Structure formats: structure tokens, C-alpha cells
Amino acid sequence: MSAVSTGELLMKLWRGDASGGDFVEYRLPAQEGEVVLDVVHRIQATEAPDLAVRWNCKAGKCGSCSAEINGQPRLMCMTRMSTLPIDEPITISPMRTFPVIRDLVTDVSYNYEVAKLIPSFTPGPRPAEGYRMFQVDVERGQEFRKCIECFLCQNVCHVIRDHEENKAHYAGPRFLARLAELEMHPLDTLDRRAYIAERMGLGYCNITKCCTEVCPEGIHITDNAIIPLKERVVDQRYDPVAWLGRKIRGRPRPMTPADVEPYTGAAAKAARAGQAEAS
């Protein structure tokens, strides 16, 4: 390990593409009040003009600058240098779960493919007096709307991070939170539970909570989204008491194939029209 002198930063940035690469060392003077992204930008402005890094807002709101800082999935723009042990080298590497395009930039398109498979918000017929919602009913879903789609949770989740083949049948924490938001929506009428259990792969999550630990928006993904979804699935398939209750009281409309057409489908368009009307 190389020595770092006082007032100096030793940054080790991953340089390379999908075919390979290595950590490259950059030494530069430490400056007061910087975040990691500032330092990366200084490297880009001086020694490495060809360094690829994705960013937009520098305010923790666009979700572009996700990376792994000393092995921890973080937003580069929200990680202060003063919180890191700068008397040692600092490593910055791209998110591990997604293929590297170049340097710190990864191809996160897996997430967009999952997003297309989320059955849209589906309100019932519009009542004569219009839709009415109470704050207590929408509050829970609002927590999930804070999501900035940085995909740090998707990146840290071992289900797909360590087991590539599971990308074919696991939606990942960000999208389970999205599904929870829809399932908890007071005006939604769709029963997505079987779909969540099977196609979205809810059972793969073993509630080890890394998604919650890394979420820069502090969303309680595991406790407030995933576990409530697991309990809803238990209601549907593993609890005869709940089953009896449903027989007596009726139930929401089960999903049909049309509900899961990607956003380009006719059903999705109609659902979106309903959504616009409801909001």
C-alpha cells in the first residue's frame, strides 16, 4: 500500500471497460469541504481528461453518480471526503452488479427492463364525485416516491450481485418498493400478488437489508416494502384464515396478461390515461 503524505489525497480509480481494467492511482492536494465527486472532477480536469463518470445534479437528487467508495455503494456527490480515512488510499470503483461501459460508468439497462414489467396503476371506474384520497392512505406510498433511482439498492442486493442468473427472474429492491407502492395505493384495484411472488421473484429476497443500508434517500425498503409484500403473499397463498376472509368479503381483481404488457401496450396506455385522470 502506497504511503499518503499529509495534505495529499491518494485516489485509486477503476479504469477500464467490460473486457478488463485496473485501479489507477492519482495523487492530488487535499482541499477543504469536498465531496468525492469534486475530487473525481479535479482528476478529470487535470490528469485524466478521458475519465468516464456519470453525474448530473451534484445534490443527491438525480441518482447518476452511484459508485463504490472503499467498497461501499454510495453516491459520490453525497460522500464528504472528511468522512473517509484520507490518510489511506481511497478506492472508487463502478457498481459491481452491472456491466461496465467505461471506467465508473455502468450499463444499468437491466433496471429499465424490470421497470417495463411493472403492471401500471389501475384505478377503478371514476366515481361521480371524482376520486378522493386521504393523507393517511397515501402516506405510506409517498415514502417510496422519494426514490431517485440511483440503483444502489439494486447494485448491493446479493440476489443479483452475486448470482447473475437471477437477473432473469428477480425484480430487485427498488422495484419491489415500486410494487409495494402500487399495492398500497388506495385507488388501485389490481391484485398483483401472484405476479410479485412469481415473475418478480419476491421469495429470492432473504431480508438481509443491505438495500435499506445503502439507500441514500433513507427508504426503509425491507421493512416497509418487501416484508409487507411478503405478508400479502402469505395472505394469498399460505394462510387459510385470510383465504376464508377473502371468500366472505370479496377481493380485488386478479391480474390478467394485459396488465403486464410493457408500457407500449394498449392496456398500459389506457391505465396511464386513468392515472393522469386520478392525479
Partner 1 sequence: MSVVEGTARPAPIPVEIGRARGGPPRSKVLRRDLWWLQPLAIALGLAAFVGYGVWTAFRGDYYFAGAHAHYLSPFYSPCFVRSCPTDVVWGPAGSIGSVSPALLVLIFPMGFRVTCYYYRKTYYRSFWASPPACAVADAGSTKPGGARSRYSGETRFPLILQNIHRYFWYVAVLFAGILTWDAIDAFRFGPNGWGLGLGTIFFVVNAGLIWAYTLGCHACRHLCGGGLKRFSQAPVRFAIWRKVVSPLNAHHQLFAWLSLFWIAWTDFYVYLVSSGAIHDPRLF
Contact 11, 30 (CB under 8 A): no
Cell digits of residue 155: 447494485
174 sits near ligand SF4 (criterion: CB under 6 A): yes
Q: Judged by CB under 6 A, which stretch of 23-31, 61-69, 186-194, 246-254 contacts ligand FES?
A: 61-69
Of 184, 74, 58, the C-alpha closest to 66 is 74
Q: Judged by CB under 6 A, which stretch of 29-37, 116-124, 172-180, 260-268 contacts ligand SF4?
A: 172-180
- Nearer to ligand FES by C-beta: 25 or 107? 107
152 sits near ligand SF4 (criterion: CB under 6 A): yes
Q: Judged by CB under 6 A, which stretch of 53-61, 134-142, 238-246, 266-274 contacts ligand FES?
A: 53-61
Of 226, 115, 134, the C-alpha closest to 180 is 226
Contact 188, 182 (CB under 8 A): yes
Q: How many CA atoms lie within 13 A of 125 on its CB side?
A: 2
Measured distance CA(186)–CA(184) in Å, rounded: 6
Residues 107-166 that bind partner 1 (CB under 8 A): 109-110, 113-114, 117, 134, 136-137, 156, 158-159, 161-166
Measured distance CA(74)–CA(69) in Å, rounded: 6
147 sits near ligand SF4 (criterion: CB under 6 A): yes
Contact 170, 159 (CB under 8 A): yes
| Smallest distance from ligand FES to CB 188, Å | 26
- Nearer to ligand FES by C-beta: 64 or 155? 64
φ/ψ (deg, to 5) at 191: -100, 100
Answer for which of 53, 150, 182, 267 binds ligand SF4 (CB under 6 A) is 150
Measured distance CA(253)–CA(247) in Å, rounded: 13
| 3 state SS of 64 | coil
DSSP secondary structure code for residue 118 in this structure = S
Residues 215-254 that bind ligand SF4 (CB under 6 A): 215-217, 219, 221-222, 226
**Which partner from the list ligand SF4, partner 1, ligand FES, none does 44 bind, CB cut-off 5 to 8 Å by kind?**
none
- Nearer to ligand FES by C-beta: 64 or 106? 64
Cell digits of residue 42: 479535479
User: Residue numbers of the site for ligand FES (CB under 6 A)?
Assistant: 55-58, 60-65, 75, 77
User: Residue numbers of the site for ligand SF4 (CB under 6 A)?
Assistant: 147-153, 156-159, 173-174, 177, 205-211, 214-217, 219, 221-222, 226
